[in-house]
Amino acid sequence: MSSMIDEDVAADPGADRKPTKRQRQAAKIADAASGSMKAFVVKLVLMGLVDAIALYAVFILALQREWIVLGVIVAVTVFVNWIYFSRRRLPAKYLTPGIIFLSLFQVFVLLYTGYVAFTNYGTGHNGSKEQAVSSLMAASLERVPDSPTYQVTVVDQLGTLGLLVTDPDGDVQLGTMEQPLAEVDGAEIENGKAVAVDGWTTLSFGEVISRTDEITELAIPASDDPNDGALRTPDGSNGYLYTSNLEYDEAAGTMTDLSTGTVYTDIGTGAFVAEDGQELRPGWQIVVGFDNFIRAVTDPRLAGPLVYVTLWTFAFALISVASTFFLGLFLAITFNDLRMRGRKAYRIAMILPYAIPSFLSALVWAGMMNQSFGFINQVLLGGASVPWLTDPFVAKISVLIVNLWLGFPYMFLVCLGALQSIPDDVQEAATVDGASSWNVFRLIKLPLLLVSVAPLLIASFAFNFNNFNVIYMLTNGGPRDTGAPIPVGFTDILISMVYKVAFTGQTRDYGLASAYSIIIFIVVAVISIIAFRRTKSLEEIN
Amino acid sequence: MAEPRPISGTETGLLQGELVEQRAAVKAGGDPELTREVAPKRPFSFGRWFKATGWRHLVGIVVVAFALFPIVFVISSSLNPTGTLTGSNALFSQIGLDAYARILTNPQVPFTTWFGNTILIAGITALLTVFLGALAAYSFSRMRFTGRRFGLISIVVIQMFPQMLAVVAIFLVMSAISDWFPAIGLNTHIGLIMVYLGGALGVNTYLMYGFFNTIPSSIDEAAKIDGAGHARIFFTIILRLVAPILAVVALLSFIFSVNEYVVASVILIDTEKQTLAVGLVKLVSNPRYADWAAFSAGAVIAALPVVLLFLYLQKYIVGGLTAGAVK
């Protein structure tokens, strides 16, 4: 990157005057003298790399017809090129790389979570309506009785399997899962059966055997209309026409089960539903408005868990902050005495819980708290059988103990630093005025300490509010609440409930999980407003 | 580690603590150890000693016991050649390295792969996080431009919302990316690193920004007069002066990624691709896996680099700050 003195001058606050032509010339000369060729080459190479990657991405996206994403990529690439090849836009040169990642993986995903909360996204509602229709039809394929046998050859093109089909009249057709059967010319015929065609590799007998699973899964649509059925081959050499038990009527938006005559209608719930309420799965993804939120608070089997999980989340975060802070403060006072020997050794020993990755500590504690074999019951309590992790109430206590262990070193260090930064004169003045040491602490040191520690306490609350690791690794949120339709337990906090609803149950419910995320989102937003009010940190930014 | 973000406070706390102690020592006329010897000797009284410092040692011993006992337990069970949890209860009854051999060589448990993945992902994330954060902090600290205040405020606000809140959306975005570019989508390390980099600006820029501001701009100006461009000033002068904060941010980021479970478990699907956090949690939660000693050995191996880095960099950071290039 070449140096740009003119910009730096312009970027300086008290220097709004435009540089004169002479000044600009001088700057250019200085620029040429100082800017190194090497830096420019590096910049050129890097930008070339970025553009090449972008070009590749555009190519792939054009093949997939993802026009919106393609447009965004083109816009971003043009913008990046403009920034780095412009002589101005100096701040943007430094900010752009971080902002690109920030906007995609922090800002966009948060907004997208908001969107998902208003959809029925989840197991059984994963894709578009077209995908749902074709997978429903494919799942109910049945061989047409007395249909003719087609001779087929399995062919491969860059990993995509296709069938080369010779129908009883001798016509040759080719199709894949995505491309319906279509006539091909120039196929190589052997004993009345097409065995090879240009652009495709014919699978050998051995390959057919080894890829049997893939081949028997193949269902080549007979035409663009899904009602025409599909060609399947059970053995890789003979094919039969299969038609679906279901008939799709696009105009009416109905699926009719031909064997029973039941009509399933799209009534706007993201699935085909029969009159008796029976649903065809899979359905598809639609926007359901506030349904997830309404379901979360009005369905009694969901509302109960939501209430106790929310209360426990607050209790857990508050008690964790309070217990770690008071233990840390007490220890800081205890060890903040210059007369005491070995303070460094104590400090290192006490920092250790903090230095160990917390997921490991939580797993080790889970082992020690095992009811039947754990160290605490077997050795410390001499063979007791305390249900540390399996009783709803005791498990909460266990979680708090473990979180105290994890968090007190941090508070100790923070309080020690804050105490030591209070000037000695304050103490001396108070002592001269006759204050007792308790009063000095209560009325002078504690308020001073709280001023500097309060923002960290709020941050610590916000952190513990989402302290996933300790809950998930220690109790896995358990003991499990068997009455709830979602996988939730009595020590779950909101974030662990989100994770379990979205990723661990029999059915994944992204919509509901995102709705729960929104609740956390609001709480965190309130906390941060309070935090910023208190600390005035935003006003300090100039 | 329980609270990754506010560690900054910790380091400042440590620094301040050390400084105050040094200052106090200087005020008292030298090293505190020496001062103690110079004090007039009085006959030793246990009561007075206990009231002054003895009770502090008592508290210290109790707390250290609380702090260390899980650590002692896990080290002891890792040295226990037999595998079960019950067998680990008699501390240091048997000593052997069999459990370490088992965890490192068991073909069912690709522990070394997980370890390598973790170091790779956390290391690259830390380096790039520091780089992205430093770039942004430099522009916020040294340049004045429209949107600067807005940018800083947004970063402070955004950092309140951890990425894991959006884990569902991250998963959906990554699976969409997998459809187009499998090399950077689900089940890839690059994909996970990209997601982590999304948090790079939010969490660390403000921390770095504060530190950049403490480097006087007269240094930049001097370099500018000597003909250095902005890039040269940044890469050859500023980056070196802010090395301590780079170390802090790198350490924070490294520890964060090692500890991160939510996003990693969703993105990394194959066992061979997973990190230690994902792999070990799944291993222990499998009820059929009963080799507690091997798990303990794995935990000790996994914790060692982080603990060492933490203790080592803590000293370096304090030293770097006090010795700072600018007075």
Question: ipTM score here?
Answer: 0.83
Is the domain of A424 the same as that of A471?
yes
CA pair distance A425, A419, nearest whole angstrom: 13
Is the domain of B161 the same as that of B274?
yes
Is the domain of A61 the same as that of A133?
no
Confidence bin at A542 (pLDDT 50/70/90): low
Position with higher pLDDT, B45 vs B64: B64
* Beta strand A201-202 pairing with A193-196: unpaired
Between positions 15 and 44 of B, the ones with CB within 8 A of A are 15-17, 20-21, 24, 32, 36
Smallest Cβ–Cβ distance between B262 and the set A7, A417, A468 belongs to A468
CB atoms near residue A44 (< 10 Å): 12
| Beta-carbon separation of A407 and B2 below 8 A | yes
CA pair distance A161, A179, nearest whole angstrom: 11
The number of folded domains in chain A is: 3
Is the domain of B129 the same as that of B27?
no
Looking at residue A103, the DSSP 8-state letter turns out to be I
- Mapping DSSP to helix (H, G, I), strand (E, B) and coil, where does residue B134 land? helix
pLDDT of residue A140: 73
**Residues of chain A found within 8 Å of residue B63, distances taken between Cβ atoms:** 331, 346, 350
Binning chain B into helix, strand and coil, the percentages to the nearest 5 are: 75, 0, 25
Residue A46 is encoded by which pair of tokens? 């890097």
Confidence bin at B14 (pLDDT 50/70/90): very low
CA pair distance A116, A110, nearest whole angstrom: 10
Residue A478 is encoded by which pair of tokens? 């358990």
Q: What is the mean pLDDT of chain A?
A: 83
Confidence bin at A396 (pLDDT 50/70/90): very high
pLDDT of residue B153: 85
Binning chain A into helix, strand and coil, the percentages to the nearest 5 are: 55, 15, 30
Place of tokens 């005559």: A261
Question: Does B270 have pLDDT greater than 80?
Answer: yes
Between positions 81 and 120 of B, the ones with CB within 8 A of A are 84-86, 88-90
Is B285 inside any structural domain? yes
Is the domain of A102 the same as that of A145?
no
| Beta-carbon separation of B60 and A108 below 8 A | no
Is the domain of A268 the same as that of A361?
no
DSSP string, A131-170: HHHHHHHHHTEEEPTTPPPEEEEEEEETTEEEEEEE-TTS
**Residues of chain A found within 8 Å of residue B36, distances taken between Cβ atoms:** 339
Instruction: Residue A413: name the closest of B24, B55, B66, B7 by CA.
Output: B7
CA pair distance A76, A67, nearest whole angstrom: 14
What is the share, in percent, of chain A residues with pLDDT greater than 90? 28
pLDDT of residue A100: 92
| Beta-carbon separation of B60 and A346 below 8 A | yes
pLDDT of residue A3: 42
CA pair distance B70, A374, nearest whole angstrom: 12
CA distance A275 to chain B (A): 33
Over range B127-153, report the average pLDDT: 91
Q: Which residues contact A52 (CB under 8 A, 6 or more apart)?
A: none
CA distance B153 to chain A (A): 6
| Beta-carbon separation of A359 and B201 below 8 A | no
pLDDT of residue B268: 94
Largest separation between any pair of C-alpha atoms in chain B: 81
Instruction: Residue B196: name the closest of B110, B123, B147 by CA.
Output: B123
Amino acid in the structure at residue B12:
T
| Beta-carbon separation of B230 and A405 below 8 A | no
| Beta-carbon separation of A373 and B89 below 8 A | yes
Question: How long a stretch of residues is chain B?
Answer: 327
B325 close contact with A: CB closer than 8 A: no
Instruction: Residue A89: name the closest of A98, A80, A101, A100 by CA.
Output: A80
B80 close contact with A: CB closer than 8 A: no
Looking at residue A247, the DSSP 8-state letter turns out to be E
Is the domain of A260 the same as that of A185?
yes
**Residues of chain B found within 8 Å of residue A454, distances taken between Cβ atoms:** none
Under 8 Å between Cβ of B184 and B191: yes
pLDDT of residue A32: 56
| Beta-carbon separation of A94 and B36 below 8 A | no
B259 close contact with A: CB closer than 8 A: yes
Closest residue in B to A2 (Cα) is B229
For the ranges A260-264, B84-88, B234-238, the lowest mean pLDDT is seen at B84-88
Position with higher pLDDT, A497 vs A162: A497
| Beta-carbon separation of B172 and A33 below 8 A | no
Is A17 inside any structural domain? no
Is B82 inside any structural domain? no
Is the domain of B154 the same as that of B24?
no
| Beta-carbon separation of B89 and A527 below 8 A | no
| Beta-carbon separation of B167 and A502 below 8 A | yes
**Residues of chain B found within 8 Å of residue A340, distances taken between Cβ atoms:** 53, 56-57
Smallest Cβ–Cβ distance between A102 and the set B164, B201, B303 belongs to B201
Is B263 inside any structural domain? yes
Is A5 inside any structural domain? no
| Beta-carbon separation of A106 and B224 below 8 A | no
| Beta-carbon separation of B280 and A360 below 8 A | yes
Confidence bin at B260 (pLDDT 50/70/90): very high
Is the domain of A256 the same as that of A385?
no
Structure confidence by residue, pLDDT tens digits, B191-246? 999 999 998 887 778 888 888 888 898 988 899 898 888 888 898 889 999 888 88
CB atoms near residue B42 (< 10 Å): 7
Distances (CA, A) of A52 to A56, A61, A77, A326: 6, 14, 10, 57
| Beta-carbon separation of A98 and B296 below 8 A | no
CB atoms near residue A100 (< 10 Å): 17
Place of tokens 């008292």: B28
CA pair distance A459, A467, nearest whole angstrom: 12
Is A381 inside any structural domain? yes
Under 8 Å between Cβ of A201 and A156: yes
Question: Does B319 have pLDDT greater than 60?
Answer: no
What is the share, in percent, of chain B residues with pLDDT greater than 70? 83
Is B177 inside any structural domain? yes
Under 8 Å between Cβ of A361 and B277: no
Question: Does B176 have pLDDT greater than 80?
Answer: yes
Return the CATH number at A340: 1.10.3720.10
Is A262 inside any structural domain? yes
**Residues of chain A found within 8 Å of residue B53, distances taken between Cβ atoms:** 337, 339-341
Number of H-type helices and E-type strands within chain B: 17, 0
**Residues of chain A found within 8 Å of residue B295, distances taken between Cβ atoms:** 363, 367
| Beta-carbon separation of A113 and B227 below 8 A | no
Return the CATH number at A59: 1.20.58
Structure confidence by residue, pLDDT tens digits, A172-228? 888 887 788 888 887 888 877 888 888 888 888 888 888 887 787 788 888 877 777
Confidence bin at A380 (pLDDT 50/70/90): confident
- Mapping DSSP to helix (H, G, I), strand (E, B) and coil, where does residue A39 land? helix
For A238, the enclosing helix (H) or strand (E) is: strand A238-244
pLDDT of residue B62: 93
Cα separation of the two ends of chain A:
28
Is the domain of A111 the same as that of A135?
no
Residue A83: Cβ-neighbour burial (10 angstroms; 0-12, 13-18, 19+): middle
Is A46 inside any structural domain? yes
Picking from B1, B27, B172 by the largest number of A CB atoms within 10 A of its own CB, the best residue to mutate is B1
Under 8 Å between Cβ of B295 and B280: yes
CA distance B6 to chain A (A): 7
| Beta-carbon separation of A356 and B1 below 8 A | yes
pLDDT of residue A330: 93
Under 8 Å between Cβ of B261 and B281: yes
Is B88 inside any structural domain? no
Smallest Cβ–Cβ distance between B85 and the set A104, A374, A541 belongs to A374
Largest separation between any pair of C-alpha atoms in chain A: 114
pLDDT of residue B322: 33
Smallest Cβ–Cβ distance between A460 and the set B3, B139, B232 belongs to B3
CA distance B325 to chain A (A): 23
- Mapping DSSP to helix (H, G, I), strand (E, B) and coil, where does residue B164 land? helix
pLDDT of residue B168: 92
Residue A246 is encoded by which pair of tokens? 């279901």
pLDDT of residue A1: 40
| Beta-carbon separation of B3 and A463 below 8 A | yes
Instruction: Residue B203: name the closest of B149, B157, B143, B145 by CA.
Output: B157
CA pair distance A116, B39, nearest whole angstrom: 71
Under 8 Å between Cβ of A328 and A410: yes
Domain that includes residue B14, residue range: 1-36
Under 8 Å between Cβ of B60 and A346: yes
Is A290 inside any structural domain? no
Is the domain of A100 the same as that of A239?
no
Under 8 Å between Cβ of B262 and B43: no
Under 8 Å between Cβ of A512 and A295: yes
pLDDT of residue B287: 74
pLDDT of residue B3: 42
| Beta-carbon separation of A468 and B52 below 8 A | no
pLDDT of residue A31: 59
CA pair distance B181, B164, nearest whole angstrom: 23
B239 close contact with A: CB closer than 8 A: no
Which span out of A453-462, A481-490, A531-540, B27-36 was modeled with the highest average pLDDT? A481-490
Question: Does A267 have pLDDT greater than 90?
Answer: no
pLDDT of residue A538: 57
Is B325 inside any structural domain? no
Q: Which residues contact A305 (CB under 8 A, 6 or more apart)?
A: A481, A484, A486, A488, A492, A497
Question: Does B65 have pLDDT greater than 50?
Answer: yes
pLDDT of residue A497: 93
CA distance A35 to chain B (A): 7
For the ranges A516-530, B181-195, B263-277, the lowest mean pLDDT is seen at A516-530
For A280, the enclosing helix (H) or strand (E) is: strand A279-280
What is the share, in percent, of chain A residues with pLDDT greater than 70? 93
What phi and psi, each to the nearest 5 degrees, are found at residue A182? -145, 150
Under 8 Å between Cβ of B195 and B174: yes
Domain that includes residue A157, residue range: 129-280
Over range A455-467, report the average pLDDT: 87
CA distance A486 to chain B (A): 16
Is A42 inside any structural domain? yes
For the ranges A16-25, A84-93, A491-500, B52-61, the lowest mean pLDDT is seen at A16-25
Question: Does A113 have pLDDT greater than 90?
Answer: yes
| Beta-carbon separation of B67 and A5 below 8 A | no
pLDDT of residue A169: 79
Is the domain of B120 the same as that of B15?
no
Amino acid in the structure at residue B194:
M
Is B326 inside any structural domain? no
Question: Does A70 have pLDDT greater than 60?
Answer: yes
Distances (CA, A) of A296 to A113, A289, A458, A477: 16, 13, 28, 19
B158 close contact with A: CB closer than 8 A: yes
For A257, the enclosing helix (H) or strand (E) is: strand A254-257
Is the domain of A170 the same as that of A143?
yes
Distances (CA, A) of B19 to A109, A192, B7, B26, B207: 43, 93, 18, 10, 21
CA pair distance B20, A423, nearest whole angstrom: 9
Question: Does A9 have pLDDT greater than 60?
Answer: no
DSSP string, A14-80: T--SPPPHHHHHHHHHHHHHHS-HHHHHHHHHHHHHHHHHHHHHHHHHHHHT-HHHHHHHHHHHHHH
Is B242 inside any structural domain? yes
Smallest Cβ–Cβ distance between A105 and the set B77, B195, B259 belongs to B195
Instruction: Residue B7: name the closest of B256, B200, B234 by CA.
Output: B256
pTM over 0.90: no
DSSP string, B207-227: HHHHHHHHS-HHHHHHHHHTT
Between positions 53 and 72 of B, the ones with CB within 8 A of A are 53, 56-57, 59-60, 63-64, 66-68, 70-71
Is the domain of A93 the same as that of A170?
no
**Residues of chain B found within 8 Å of residue A531, distances taken between Cβ atoms:** 160
CA pair distance B206, A53, nearest whole angstrom: 31
Smallest Cβ–Cβ distance between A365 and the set B63, B70, B170 belongs to B70
Return the CATH number at B225: 1.10.3720.10
Distance of CA A350 to the CA centre of its chain: 34
CA pair distance A197, A192, nearest whole angstrom: 14
- Mapping DSSP to helix (H, G, I), strand (E, B) and coil, where does residue B140 land? helix
Confidence bin at A50 (pLDDT 50/70/90): very high
